[in-house]
Amino acid sequence: MTHGMPRRARVLAAAVGTGVLVPLAAATPAAAAPPAVTCTSAKAGLAATLQRDITAALAGREGTVALGLYDRGTNTTCSLRASSVYDSASVVKVTVLAALLWDAKKTNRYLTDRESTLAKAMITKSDNAATSALWKQLGMTKIKGFLTAAGMTQTKPGANGYWGLTQITVTDEQKLLKLLTARNAVLSDNARAYILKLMGQVVASQRWGTPYGVPAGVTVAVKNGWLQRATNGWRVHSVGAFKGGGHDYVMTVLTHGNSTMNYGIATIQAVAKVIHRDLAAS
């Protein structure tokens, strides 16, 4: 008796009766929802505000975005795809300088004039030849030694001199920025100040990204990276440290799958703008 049964049930009954298996629904599972921005804060209401505003800033943006925020003053953190892996492009240059200073500290020496010249060009102008020279000088053993000392366990140095293909994550970039902005046993206070000074002297044409929308009176230290490859389009990244207005915070935004470099910059700046605004208002 199939009379009065819904059509779908009648089809099933008929199929069972004849021994034929009839698929009743699409076999493909629903696409997984993209990961959500998560925030926590000791400041009442701030986490919810940041989560809402960052989510809105990313709505409709193409590409894949990973981000991290940590503000010491309000013990606020936000994260999205914190362990997703990206090609580093030039943001790895901060790691290179930190490794150089960490290694020099072990023998209690200052940087040579040559090293200082290369370091300044590498950070303030994103000079690739200077980076290659320091990368080669350090060698893989020292670079990996620094990553271990810094607890940057998710970072994999690029092979065969290709430092721009170092694999990085938001988690590790945030660890590095935290080392630069608070006393620790890995980097001396002088080393930390030196790196932040150079990141504060980046040429005007490269001061986009995480500093966008920073309030007046807040100091900025930034390093950006950009790289186009056949897969995943443009990688566009920005890491920054900010202090002032009662806040002391570090921010990492990594992106790939951008159609152009400027598209990636716009995505990063949309996020940075609301983060600076929400922290300033808190």
Res. 56 pLDDT band, cuts 50 70 90: very high
Degrees (nearest 5) of the Cα angle 26, 29, 34?
140
Beta strand 86-87 with 167-168: parallel, antiparallel or unpaired?
antiparallel
Q: What is the CA radius of gyration of the chain?
A: 24
State the pLDDT at residue 33: 75
Look at residue 31 in the predicted model and tell me its pLDDT.
62
Indicate whether this model's pTM tops 0.85: yes
Question: Which residues have C-beta within 8 Å of that of residue 145, sequence separation ≥ 6?
Answer: 99, 102, 103
For 123-151, the three-class secondary structure string (H helix, E strand, C coil) is HHCCCHHHHHHHHHHHHHHHHHHHHHHHC
* Under 8 Å between Cβ of 51 and 78: yes
Amino acid at 190: N
Q: Taking a C-beta distance cutoff of 8 angstroms, is the pair 40, 77 a contact? A: yes
Answer for the pair 176, 195: CB distance below 8 angstroms, yes or no: no
Is 80 exceeded by the pLDDT of residue 32?
no
| Tens digit of each residue's pLDDT (9 = 90 or more) over 151-208 | 999 999 999 999 999 999 999 999 999 999 999 999 999 999 999 999 999 999 999 9
How far, in Å, CA of 104 to CA of 190, rounded?
12
- Whether the per-residue pLDDT at 34 is higher than 90: the answer is no
